[in-house]
């Protein structure tokens, strides 16, 4: 069974998609970016600031289902500039612990609203 997950503690979807979808065993969180969930506006700043806001948005989505980053199995990370990889990785890594989820990180030609980072995750329900 497919269940839509929605929370005001993460930014509203900018198009025809759900913030997250849960099945009996897995949760698929749509790509999150550096949007302030209270104002639905872009958080200005470098990749460090934008990654922190993005991770907080993911954290809020996971918390809506009583999950946390330890439940994340896989992440896909999109950077506007791979030169930001080291700074991104430092923030990203500060939210996670061993065993780290599987991950793919790529440079995207262009991200929505010209953000610097977008991250999607797949988590396992407890």
Domain holding 69: CATH number? Answer: 3.30.1330.40
Instruction: Give the DSSP H/E element, type plus range, for residue 27.
Output: strand 26-32
Query: Over the chain, what is the mean pLDDT?
Result: 96
In this prediction, residue 12 carries a pLDDT of: 86
Angle 114-115-121 from CA coordinates, rounded to 5° = 130
> Per-residue pLDDT tens for 39-75?
989 999 999 999 999 999 999 999 999 999 999 999 9
Range of the domain at 88: 3-124
Number of H helices, E strands in the chain: 2, 8
Angle 88-35-109 from CA coordinates, rounded to 5° = 55
Q: How many CB atoms lie within 10 A of CB 78?
A: 21
Q: How many domains does the chain have?
A: 1
* Residue whose token pair is 């997950």: 5
Distance CA 46, CA 70 (A): 26
Q: Given a cut of 90, is residue 83 above it in pLDDT?
A: yes
């Amino acid at each position: 069974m497919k269940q839509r997950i929605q929370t005001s503690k993460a930014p509203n979807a900018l198009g025809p998609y759900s913030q997250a979808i849960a099945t009996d065993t897995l949760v698929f969180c749509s790509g999150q970016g550096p949007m302030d969930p209270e104002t639905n506006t872009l958080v200005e700043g470098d990749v460090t600031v934008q990654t922190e806001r993005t991770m907080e948005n993911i954290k809020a989505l996971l918390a809506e289902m009583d999950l946390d980053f330890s439940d994340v199995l896989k992440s896909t990370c999109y950077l506007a500039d791979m030169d930001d990889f080291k700074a991104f990785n430092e923030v990203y890594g500060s939210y996670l612990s061993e065993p780290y989820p599987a991950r793919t990180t790529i440079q995207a030609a262009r991200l929505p609203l010209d953000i610097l980072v977008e991250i999607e995750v797949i988590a396992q329900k407890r």
